[in-house]
Amino acid sequence: MGSELELSSGFIPALYKPASLLPIARHKRSLTYLVETYQVTIVVGQTGSGKTTQLPQYLDQAGWCENGKTIAVTQPRRVAATTVATRVAEEMRCKVGEEVGYSIRFEDVTSAATRIKFLTDGMLLREALVDPLLSRYSVIMVDEAHERSLSTDVLLGILKKIIKKRPELRIIISSATLQAEDFLRFFAGDEYKPDAEPANLGGGIGTIISLEGRMYPVDTLFLENPAEDYVERAVKTVFDIHTQEAEGDVLLFLTGREEIDRAIQMISERAAYLNPKAPSLLTLPLYAGLTTDQQMYVFEPAPENTRKVIVSTNIAEASVTIDGIVYVIDCGFAKLRAYNPSTGIETLTAVPISKASATQRAGRAGRTKPGKCLRLYTQQTYESLPEATIPEIQRSNLAPIVMQLKALGIDNIVRFDFLTSPPAELVIRALELLYSLGAVDDYAKLTKPLGMRMAELAVDPMMAKVLLAAPSFKCLSEMLSIAAMVSLQGTVWVQHDGDKKAAESHRRKFAVEEGDHLTYLNVYQAFVTKGKKDSKWCRDHLLNYRALVRAVSIRGQLKRYLERFGIQIDESLSSRHGAGTGTSPEQIQRCLTTGYFAHAAKMQPDGTFKTVSGGLTLHAHPSSLMFNRKADWVIFHEIMQTGNKTYIRDVTKIEKSYLLEYAPEYYRVS
């Protein structure tokens, strides 16, 4: 590369390589031919193949946007949808929102002129509620399908149904190598013949095409003997690289914040013993819990004579891409969520990664030049890893998905054609919950209007039920704010490393005796009256400004839905809850119970909680007001097991009698 030239004569590298130089350009004609010929095309393309940015443009040029039709390209993540749209708009020399646009929750940057539209796959599913055949699209490209997110999997099932009714619709699935045949088998069904020519399977519905990427080779090394403590071993490896290998930044994969902090601590302690004349180390953490500003540091080039070491969770495996990484250190584990249908409890535990994940992590070392991947496990261990991670649909609470499918007219969930079907127990558990909430009837059909409306609200079923019950408790305005705050999933307060006592005293200023939900209401109301235009007010109170701005958007959206259902919302009392006039806490506590009765617990003399059936010991999460307060009965929003403790979050006191009053069937004493 011409780095000397760049320095001496002021040249800077082009921001983007001209599209014609991308490997995909060579396949333009065969790609457009395949899409014309086959209803489903599986595109196997590595990083840097240009599939996401170029393929939609080829299809546009080939006439797929004539007669006012649109090409949709879905992404599992919001940021991807917006950044890719921006890039393609630049290449097509238009503004985002003109010929090229994107659509994500709260941001629809499209117009009548939009021919190529990037959107989250969740958003396309939402569109299917209004337009079940997705008739405005001529081509739907499902990008990153191999990640197997919940909404990608549901979308694939829906698309398989749609193509039977719309023979002119074209589907493109972008996938990693490993899963391409699974996708084709899924769409081609009986026509799939594994022995046929790979480029022409079955001769009708689908085909696979591979695009070469623009990746450099990555040299992969395993440990000879297993490591006793992989954090310790990772730190040693960082120093081995630093003292023995050529320049280049390091990306270290660990499982969570605690490990990351420990590793960074150890690295900085040992860095003190480095030769002062030797290059130094700059160690940076990366995990989702950091603020955006804190995350931005990892993208800045290291100062001169300094090697950057990024210590990251799984976020750097697919969601965040950092250039300049030459060395990857992979601990071989990741924290994964799973849902236990027999207890209804989610777990978050570190588990061995899959071979596909290990390959993806290694690939992070080969983006700018040949790299090395150091795996902190043996080759034997690697061989024993599962090929791919269990898809989310097989380890999630399916109540929201079941409701959504039913709203799309798919009543028989067990017989719905999933790429991989969820375990029956997950479906049964979801149906039981929806039945107890009154969302489905004895025949497992969505009730009208309750179940239909719950399906349309973009909150989980329990909260949806609470919102729809709120008018009869005269607390809808308050409950809208509470639902919006709960949707933020614990991001209301900014994490503060230093002074924990200060953080606690800030929280206490907003604390409400009845529990976390009313405290959220208090924070929301203070924000809209005092802090809405003032991020400093939020900083002073250790509140997350961006999260609260988002809460305002979510509340607005939920309010518009309810108005569309014809529900009146009296906002006149919204800032005056509490004692005296307006809504009493009791109305809110009662209303919450109508949705969260299945999440009830009783406090024990030792301060822990027990479920109604008495079996499980639960702990108030330290972020909850109930962490060190007395209560009798409570309801909670979330229950999760980490390590060997089970925590409940977003906890509010109730009376035992509410449970019998609002869920007599559920708590019937026989």
> Residue numbers of the site for DNA (CB under 7 A)?
76-79, 103-106, 108, 120, 122-123, 126-127, 130, 149-151, 255-258, 287-289, 313-315, 319-320, 334-337, 348, 392, 400, 458-460, 487, 489-490, 500, 503-504, 557, 560-561, 621-623, 627, 638, 640, 642-643, 645, 647, 649
Q: How far is CA 37 from CA 114, 139, 156, 203, in A?
A: 25, 13, 20, 10
Q: How far is the CB of 102 from DNA (least distance, A)?
A: 10
Q: Are the CB atoms for 541 and 506 separated by under 8 Å?
A: yes
Closest CA to 625 of 643, 650, 645: 650
Which is closer to DNA, CB of 162 or CB of 201? 162
Residue with smaller CB distance to DNA, 574 or 641: 641
Q: Using CA atoms, how far apart are residues 505 and 34, in angstroms rounded to an integer?
A: 63
Q: Give whichever of 207 and 487 is closer to DNA, judged by the CB atom.
A: 487
Tokens describing residue 119: 């959107």
Report the nearest approach of DNA to the CB of residue 608 (Å).
Answer: 11
Nearby residues of 208 by Cβ (< 8 Å), 6 or more positions away: 41, 42, 44, 180, 181, 184, 198, 199, 201
Kindly tell me which of 638 and 661 has the beta carbon lying closer to DNA: 638
Q: At what angle do helices 399-407 and 150-165 cross, to 10 degrees?
A: 20
The answer to whether the beta carbons of residues 298 and 322 sit under 8 Å apart is yes
Say if residues 32 and 170 touch (Cβ distance below 8 Å).
no
Residue placing its CB nearer to DNA in the complex, 368 or 642: 642
Q: Shortest gap between Cβ of 422 and DNA (angstroms)?
A: 16
Tokens of 464: 């949806």
**Please, which residue, 42 or 468, has the CB nearer to DNA?**
468
Sequence letter at residue 226 = P
Q: How far is the CB of 143 from DNA (least distance, A)?
A: 13
Residue placing its CB nearer to DNA in the complex, 314 or 525: 314
Question: Which residues, in sequence order, are CB contacts of 399 under 8 Å at separation 6+?
Answer: 429, 430, 433, 434, 460, 461
Structure tokens at 296: 């931005």
Residue 312 CB, shortest distance to DNA, in Å, is 8
Q: Which is nearer to DNA, 218 or 316 (CB)?
A: 316
* CB of residue 314 to DNA, shortest distance in Å: 5
Cβ neighbors of 615 (< 8 A, separation 6 or more) are none
Q: How many residues does the chain have?
A: 670
Q: How far is the CB of 243 from DNA (least distance, A)?
A: 29
Instruction: Match 């030792």 to its residue by tokens.
Output: 606
Q: How far is the CB of 550 from DNA (least distance, A)?
A: 10
Which residue lies nearer to DNA by CB, 76 or 585? 76
Q: Cβ 402 to DNA, closest distance in Å?
A: 12
